[in-house]
Structure 1
Amino acid sequence: MMIIRISKTAAVAATALFSTLVAFGNLTDYGTNFAFVQHVMSMDTIFPDAAIKYRAITNPALHNLFYFLIIAAESLTAILCWIGAYRLATNLRNDARSFNASKTLSIAGLTLGFLVWQVGFMSVGGEWFGMWMSKTWNGVPDAFRFFITILLVLVFVAQRDEELA
């Protein structure tokens, strides 16, 4: 059905827009968002008696490097999803084989987005650096919301499409 193909294209474009806005916000409000990375990596707001504080990284150069990598991954997610949405859109009326083949960059972008927020924020930030313990710098709920949304789009887009009627 055409509506399913349009829906998949729109879902990828919506993820592209989201990733673009996140990356843009991180670039244009570098200091505010950098403070988040700095506090999470420094582990300076987790429980005072936490036994995992030895994991803290307090080197500002490493904070900037990690933040740069986050912004780069968010930006690449956006770029892949924008190109992927364009490819889906230009193949809407084509045969199923062509439409399914046009999903490659969308799937790559969605997978990268999932990895950014699930691995980067939930696993590394949340668990390794104990971000969940911070009342001030806890991005776990947001990261969860982001990666679950992206994962649902990924599952939807990855489903094989059949020939149009």
Structure 2
Amino acid sequence: MNHPLRLLQAFTVFCAGLYGLFVFLGNLMDYDSNYQFVKHVLSMDTTFDGNALMWRAITEPWVWTVGYIGIIIAEGTFAALGLVGGVLLFLRRNADSVTYDRARTWGYAAYAVGLAIWFIGFIVIGSEWFAMWQSSSWNGKDTAMPLAILWAIFAALLAMNAPAPAHESDRQ
């Protein structure tokens, strides 16, 4: 059977997982650089002078550490879901719809975790709650937004089904 849409779906899920793996490994291999990012965003120490939202700042180092470890775990989870999901989708590309749909669950889970990290975590919480957008040096919004959009588009692509062959649609 020839399933180009299924191949594309497997490829995009796998690529998302590969991206997540590189981010996860980067956070482990360069722990301090990314820890500094979390520290400065949560402490809000590079936002505008006179910022009326400073009551939101978190200046406890243990909270920075817990938050950063949570991000690393979430990124590792995203990577694992995407890599496993991409492989399963590829292996089941010629399977019946029910079997293939079960494999899609891994991709949906990956994209949900990706949206939780980059949309909820970085855009909603980081950029808006902790006013990260005000920082010229510790602002991840411009990186997070395209990723959140990409995961949403990939999730929509994953939900698509190939059109039925002409001979099947003629019977309806």
Larger radius of gyration: 2
- Percent identity over paired residues: 33
Distance in 2 between residues matched to 1:30 and 1:11, nearest whole Å: 28
Alignment match, 2:152: 151
Cα shift readout 1:131-150 (whole Å, capped 9, x = no counterpart): 00001101001000111111
1:1-165 equivalences under 5 Å are 2-161=3-162
1:3-27 CA-to-partner distances (Å, cap 9, x unmatched) read: 1110000000110011110111011
TM-score normalized by the length of structure 1:
0.95
Aligned-partner Cα distance in 2 for 1:138–1:71: 18
Equivalent pair of 1:118/1:143 in contact (CA under 8 Å): yes
TM-score, scaled to structure 2:
0.91
Quick one: distance in 2 between partners of 1:160 and 1:76?
A: 26
**Change in CA separation of 1:163 and 1:79 when aligned onto 2, cut-off 3 Å:** farther
CA 1:64/1:164 → structure 2, altered by over 3 Å: closer, same or farther? farther
Equivalent residues of 1:95, 1:163 under 8 A apart = no
| Structure 2 residue ranges without an equivalent (≥5) | 167-172
What is the Cα-based RMSD across aligned positions, in Å? Answer: 1.5
Contact 2:20 2:76 in 1 (8 A): yes
- Work out the CA distance in 2 between the residues paired with 1:44 and 1:114: 26
Q: Conserved in 2, the CA contact under 8 Å of 1:95 and 1:164?
A: no
Structure 1 residue 97 displacement after superposition: 2.5
